[in-house]
Amino acid sequence: AILAEHSLFNLGISGQYPLVQNMTVTEGGTANMTCRVEYNDNTSLQWSNPAQQTLFFGDKKALRDNRIELVHASWSELTISISDVTLTDEGMYTCSLFTMPVRTAKAYLTVLGVPEKPEIDGLTKPAMEGDHITLTCMTHGSKPAADLRWFRNEKEIKGAKEVNASGKTFTVRSSLQLHVDRNDDGVAYTCRVDHVALTQTPQQATEVLEVHYAPRVQIIHSLAVPQEGQYLKLECVSKGNPSPDPVMWTKDGSELPDLDRMIVEGRELTFTSLNKTDNGTYRCEAGNHLGTSSAEYVLYVYDVPTTLPPSTTPPLPPILPDPTALLDTHASDPTVTGNRDPNALGQHGTDHALIGGVVAVVVFVTLCLIIVLGRYLARHKGTYLTNEAKGADDAPDADTAIINAEGNHAHAEEKKEYFI
């Protein structure tokens, strides 16, 4: 019995410790502070604030603060609520169990500072193409420091972040450098605040960038190959801000010559019926206060293609080969049978072509030889005398003629013939 009583006493001593939990609450919210005891021998519980001021002793309210209310009080539990929490309420709260000695437990109340809605500065309306601008997004009152994120039409882009402390809260700033071009016209830049206190919809601000830029012009034509009599439409597509209206059409540097067939409606130039006189260079020009742009289209009107009428003359009958000739041609060829090789005709055609080439070469070489021989004979044409003939004029007999011919040999130089 004594052992059992001692064990119960030890259980009572070990169970007489208050149990509490740390709390986190958003600024402006409500914090419920609960203190429990597993075993209590009718000992009172008490809650104190970070300044060690008693809030509740049991069910008795000790501090006059309308935001602090009793939720539940018993021997085993004391729960109080603090509404409309501010940053000054943050700190260490103490639950005391008045035993001998007094036992305490501490719970830390964390108050989250809600960031204010961000603001975007630095936007110039309108911005000019080529400008350098800096967009700055800023939010105040966050605790801990908030995170700022930039989006360009829902696509996240990176900015430069800066954090500054202001008492218990933080001021966060993020900058975005932009080199403005025409692609930024109408683009929405959004600065979004991410913070643990924003459990539902994040705070954000959006600005739409307006960019002014000089126009660019392009001509679109309805026909790839314009022909006489066809309908042609030229459209002057110009993009600029402010919008470059109206546009001006010219032909070869002058006004349009024929307004009856050339109709201008807004940005379109229409030819009701093309002809050769429409050939030329057409120019479309558009501008605004930032500049002027133009485009050209060279028009060449093609003739209408003509189709030959069908012939009324009946076609000539085909000329059939003479069967007797074919029979004579192949009668001497022992390889010709009723089942002829389908490639035989091609083989014979190839042989005939080769033989014809050889014959042509032989004829050409023969003609060349004849020409060379003729020129040789023509150059050596003349009268040639023997030694006997050279001395026969003054000699009575042949022997004397030979002697005279030898004597006259010294004068042979005078009788030489030259052929050119």
8 Å CB contact between 242 and 222: no
What's the pLDDT tens digit per position in 367-410?
A: 898 988 888 787 766 554 555 455 555 556 555 555 555 555 44
Q: What is the pLDDT of residue 398?
A: 54
pLDDT of residue 38: 86
Q: What CA–CA distance (Å, rounded) separates 143 from 245?
A: 54
Model-level pTM? 0.59
Query: For residues 242 and 234, is the Cβ–Cβ distance under 8 A?
Result: no
Q: Which amino acid is at 408?
A: N
Check whether 348 has a pLDDT greater than 80.
no
Angstrom distances, CA of residue 145 to CA of 69, 160, 166, 334: 31, 15, 11, 111
Q: In the structure, what pLDDT confidence band is assigned to residue 341 with cuts at 50, 70 and 90?
A: very low
pLDDT the model gives residue 23 = 95
Give the bridge partners for 254, in sequence order: 251
200/178 Cα distance (integer angstroms): 31
